[in-house]
Amino acid sequence: MKRRQRTDRLVAEINITPFTDVILVLLIIFMIATPIIFQASIKVDLPQASSAVPLKETKQIYITLTDSGVVYFDKMPITKKELKLKVIAARQANALLSVVLRADKMTKFKDVVSILDILNELGIKNINIAALSEDI
């Protein structure tokens, strides 16, 4: 009888399970952190006005228009059709709705007019345009 020699071979495989776990955790962290970073980064360079006064009303919504034409409704990016629906819903909740339009000073005038047109079409009478005081 021939006896078979047993040789211990070295297993040269890479175990990727820990690597996969780390990648999935990083993916989850980035999925959660990205919207938070994006919402906090709405930068609008408001124009200056000599007659700018602080607004004292508390029942108001904020519509922000960036220089690239992106519209935000209370820090959430939104299309103009969605804006119309959101303003209608806010108007039903509060008949004396006040709107603050924050438009970057480099925004195209046609974009500002289109937002004002939507608000006028919906019957919003109390529209405030945000500006910085020249004293600042």
> What pLDDT, on the 0 to 100 scale, is given for residue 81?
92
Distance CA(11)–CA(36), nearest Å, equals 45
Q: Which tokens hold the place of 2?
A: 């021939």
> pLDDT digit of tens for each residue in the chain (136 aa)?
566 666 677 767 788 888 999 999 999 988 888 766 655 566 776 676 766 566 565 578 889 998 888 999 988 899 999 999 999 998 888 888 889 898 888 889 899 999 999 999 988 888 888 887 766 4
Give per-residue pLDDT as tens, 95-112. Answer: 888 898 988 888 898 999
Give per-residue pLDDT as tens, 106-134. Answer: 889 899 999 999 999 988 888 888 887 76
Q: Which tokens hold the place of 128?
A: 């405030």
Set out the domains of the chain in order of their start, with CATH numbers.
Answer: 48-133 (3.30.420.270)
Which among 124, 105, 123, 93 has a CA at the least distance from the CA of 64?
Answer: 105
> What pLDDT, on the 0 to 100 scale, is given for residue 3?
67
* Whether the model pTM is above 0.85: no
108: Cβ contacts below 8 Å, ≥ 6 apart: 69
Measured from the Cβ of residue 64, the count of other Cβ atoms closer than 10 Å reads 23
